[in-house]
Amino acid sequence: MTSTGANGAPPFEMTAGRVRLDGREVLHGIDLRVEPGEVLAVLGANGSGKSTLIRALLGLVPLSGGRTHIYGSPPARFRDWKRVGYVPQRLTVGGGVPATVREVVASGRIARQSRLRPFSSAADRAAVRRALETVGLADRAGHPAQRLSGGQQQRVLIARALAGEPDVFVMDEPTAGVDAASQAALARTLRELVRQGRTIVLVAHELGPLEPLITRAVVVEAGRIAHTGAPPAPEGECARPGHQHLHPHAPGTEPAPLTTWNPA
């Protein structure tokens, strides 16, 4: 499996990216290059534009200025979608008709399937089984996904992306509103993906147990990248397991802008 495009292009590269939503500019000239194999955390407060940024990387919202490439191609001309796995920010699996966990996860194989072959192959079934085992839901395959708990539904959505066996994962707030067990399952899953050398871009409000896995963080603030580099590391008291990471800075000081991604 190669981790760059045929011409050595990185998974994502945005240059001076601007996005307007409803006539208001929400991203003001973003430069971001995601290198193969890195685990990039996109941090920021609610409304900072971090979700819009990753949706723009995928071509789900059009740019009003600048350009963005997926493995060297603009999203509209990108064809190799099996290399990309997207986990949207959703509280539930969605849809007005019940669907089993297996059905939802199997739909993640779509970029690898041909219409001429309407039934799933042995490879499809094996990938779905592996994805379910990775997120710890193998025993729930036949259950209606909509009736699982919120954290379990989030794991179903992650398993759907895993089933496609992509090179790069884009996850929008995979930890939001998720119970501790599901957070731990997610951290386990990500560790395995990192071991396999996959690229991960994830939006987060707070990193929690994912923190040790992050290789680089960008902080989005009011539609601009305000900080890029190592993730704000917990120290001393904050590094203790189980610590409620309320305030990453010295006590007594005013909250710095960077803390806005982690209100408790």
Partner 1 sequence: MIDLLRYDFMRIALVLAVLIGLTAPAVGTFIVQRRLALLGDGIGHIALTGIGLGLLTSTSPVLGALVVSVLGAVAIEVLRARSRTGGDVALALLFYGGLAGGVLLTNLRGGGSGLQSYLFGSITSVTVEDLYVVAALAAAVLAIVALFGRELFLLCQDEEVARASGLPARALSLLIAVTAAVTVVIAMRAIGLLLVSALMVVPVAAAQQLTRGFRDTMLTAMGIGVLSAVSGLVGSFEYDLPPGPSIVLLALAVYLLLVLWRTIGDSVIRRDRRSRTLPSSPKEATADAEVRR
Give the CA radius of gyration of the chain: 19
Q: Phi/psi at 34 (nearest 5 deg)?
A: -100, 120
Which residues sit opposite 18 in a β-bridge?
28, 65
Cβ closest to partner 1, residue 17 vs residue 166? 166
State the DSSP code for 247.
-
Taking the complex as a whole, the smallest distance from the CB of residue 121 to partner 1 amounts, in Å, to 13
Show contacts with partner 1 in window 21-40 (CB under 8 A).
22
Cβ closest to partner 1, residue 55 vs residue 205? 55
Taking the complex as a whole, the smallest distance from the CB of residue 211 to partner 1 amounts, in Å, to 26
Find the binder of partner 1 among 41, 104, 163, 204 (CB under 8 A): 104
Q: Phi/psi at 90 (nearest 5 deg)?
A: -140, 145
Q: How many residues bind partner 1 (CB under 8 A)?
A: 42
Find the binder of partner 1 among 77, 79, 243, 249 (CB under 8 A): 79
State the DSSP code for 185.
H
How many residues are there in the chain?
264
Q: Is 148 in the site for partner 1 (CB under 8 A)?
A: yes
Quote the distance between the C-alpha of residue 25 and its chain's center.
Answer: 23
Contact 4, 198 (CB under 8 A): no
Q: In which element (H, E) is residue 57 found?
A: helix 50-57
Q: Is 215 in the site for partner 1 (CB under 8 A)?
A: no
Q: Is 72 in the site for partner 1 (CB under 8 A)?
A: no
Q: Is 164 in the site for partner 1 (CB under 8 A)?
A: yes
CA distance to 138, 150, 179, 200, per residue, from 101 (Å): 9, 13, 19, 24
Q: In which element (H, E) is residue 102 found?
A: helix 101-106
Q: Which of 90, 43, 40 is nearest to 262 (CA)?
A: 43
Taking the complex as a whole, the smallest distance from the CB of residue 143 to partner 1 amounts, in Å, to 6
Whole-number Å distance between alpha carbons of 261 and 252: 19
Q: Is 142 in the site for partner 1 (CB under 8 A)?
A: yes
Taking the complex as a whole, the smallest distance from the CB of residue 130 to partner 1 amounts, in Å, to 19
Cβ closest to partner 1, residue 39 vs residue 104? 104
Find the binder of partner 1 among 11, 12, 14, 140 (CB under 8 A): 140
Q: Among the candidate windows 32-40, 105-113, 215-223, 232-240, which touches partner 1 by CB under 8 A?
A: 105-113
Please report, as ranges, the residues that interact with partner 1 according to CB under 8 A: 22, 55, 58-60, 78-79, 81-82, 84, 86, 88, 90, 93-100, 102-104, 107-108, 110-111, 113, 115, 118, 140, 142-144, 147-149, 152, 160, 164, 170
